[in-house]
Amino acid sequence: MEIIDEPIRDEAKSDAYQPAPKKRTGLLIGMFFLIVGTIFISSVLGAAFGFLAGNVSKGFLPDRLTGFLGISNSIENPEIIKQRIVEEDSAVIDVVEKKSPAVVSIVISKDVSQIQGSLPFDLRNFFGQGTDQFGSSNSGTDGEQKKKVGGGSGFLVTADGMVVTNKHVVSDETAEYTVMTNDNKEHAAKILAVDPVNDIAVIKIEGQDYPTLDLGDSDSLKIGQSVVAIGNSLGEFSNTVSKGIVSGLGRSLTASGGRGQTEKLSDIIQTDAAINPGNSGGPLLNIDGEVVGINVAMAQGAQNIGFAIPANQIKRVVEQVKTTGKITAPYLGVRYVPIDDEIKKAFNFSYSYGVLVVRGDRVTDFAVIPGSPADKAGIVENDVILEIDGEKIDEKNSLSGLVAKHNVGDSVILKIWHKGELRDVSLLLVERK
Angle at 68 between CA 66 and CA 71, to 5 degrees: 40
- DSSP character at residue 169: G
| Predicted TM-score (pTM) of this structure | 0.65
Q: How far apart, in whole angstroms, are the C-alpha atoms of residue 168 and residue 151?
A: 11
* Confidence tier at 130 by pLDDT (50, 70, 90): very low
**218-324 matches 330-431 in fold:** no
Q: Is pLDDT at 295 greater than 90 in this prediction?
A: yes
CATH number of 218-324: 2.40.10.10
Q: What is the dihedral angle through the alpha carbons of 183, 186, 192, 195, rounded to the nearest 10 degrees? A: 70
Domain boundaries, the chain: 19-69, 99-205, 218-324, 330-431
Residue 49 or residue 229, greater confidence: 229
Residue 364: alpha-carbon gap to chain centroid: 39
Tell me what the mean pLDDT of segment 215-222 comes to.
91
Q: Which of 266, 292, 251, 258 is nearest to 198 (CA)?
A: 266
Mean per-residue pLDDT, 161-173: 92
pLDDT at 153 over 60: yes
Nearest to 199 by CA among 267, 250, 249, 103: 267
SS3 of 106-145: the string is EEEEEEHHHHHHCCCHHHHHHCCCCECCCCCECCHHHHHC
Residue 260 to residues 125, 255, 390, Cα–Cα distance (Å): 21, 10, 38
Residues 6+ apart with CB under 8 A from 275: 229, 231, 242, 295, 297, 298, 306, 307, 308
pLDDT at 166: 93
User: What is the C-alpha separation between 398 and 253, in angstroms, rounded?
Assistant: 12
CA distances from 227 to 244, 267, 405 (A): 5, 18, 24
Average pLDDT along the chain? 76
Position 41 confidence tier, pLDDT thresholds 50, 70, 90:
low
pLDDT band at residue 83, thresholds of 50, 70 and 90?
Answer: low
**Catalytically active residues, by annotation:** 168, 199, 280
Query: pLDDT: is 350 or 89 the higher one?
Result: 350
Out of 3.30.420.40, 3.40.50.880, 2.40.10.10, 1.20.990.10, the CATH code matching 99-205 is 2.40.10.10
- Alpha carbons 325 and 272: distance in angstroms, whole number: 35
For residue 394, the tally of other CB atoms under 10 A from its CB is 17
- Residue 44: pLDDT band (50, 70, 90) is low
Between 2.40.10.480, 3.10.50.40, 3.30.1300.10, 2.30.42.10, what CATH number should domain 330-431 receive? Answer: 2.30.42.10
Percent of the chain with pLDDT over 70: 69
- What pLDDT is recorded for position 389? 93
pLDDT at residue 419, as a whole number: 86
For residues 354 and 339, is the Cβ–Cβ distance under 8 A? Answer: yes
Categorize the per-residue pLDDT at 190 as very low, low, confident or very high, splitting at 50, 70 and 90.
very high
Given this model, what pLDDT does residue 276 score? 81
Rounded CA-CA distance 313/330 in Å is: 13
pLDDT value of residue 413: 95
